[in-house]
Amino acid sequence: MIKPSQNALLVVDVQKEFLTDTTRDRIPEIQRLTESGRYDYCVLTYYKNTPKSPCWHRLHWYDGLDAGADSLLIHPPADLPTVVLEKTTYALPREGLPELLGLCSHIDLVGFDTDACVLAAAIDLFDEGYNFDVLGDCCASTNGWDYHEAALKIISRVLARQPEEN
């Protein structure tokens, strides 16, 4: 059980299936975050496409994403409590996640794809009232930097903390 007032690192879908020229450079920085000592625990997600997944039915992605935890490219140190969660949608998995994240005081969100799963995760965290930041320098999109930058603009516009009016 995670204790209150702890900081979490949420790493979304940094896995072999999403490794491209535009994502590859982010992996060392994300790995360094896990080793920084700034976090009390880490949550890693990986995307697995299944016949029940919306991407299977709507986007016709039938192969290439039969991922498992062994496809993850980030390996937190042994002394950092880490939970690995499978997901089959862009959004964060609902089962078990509130129990983990509901107790932390701050979440740093990183991962792939900024324009899909990271954006969906940020919206989930926003809608649930979590205190979080998207670390854009530790995110990337398999479709390229244009998609990454567009997603960061959306996140900044609709999800980022705004200064309070006096």
Q: Are the C-beta atoms of residues 23 and 114 closer than 8 Å to each other?
A: no
Question: How many whole angstroms separate alpha carbon 41 and alpha carbon 76?
Answer: 9
- Residue 24 CA to residue 14 CA, distance in Å, equals 10
Count of residues making up the chain: 166
pLDDT band at 4 (very low <50, low <70, confident <90, very high): low
Segments making up each domain of the chain, as ranges: 7-158
Q: Are 138 and 103 in contact (CB under 8 A)?
A: no
Q: Residue 50 has what pLDDT? A: 74
pTM confidence score? 0.89
CATH 3.40.50.850 fits 7-158, yes or no: yes
Highest mean pLDDT among 14-18, 22-26, 70-74: 22-26
Give 31-73 pLDDT, tens digit per residue.
999 999 999 999 999 988 777 776 666 665 656 566 777 889 9
> Each residue of 141-163: pLDDT tens digit?
999 999 999 999 999 998 876 55
Place of tokens 């959306």: 154
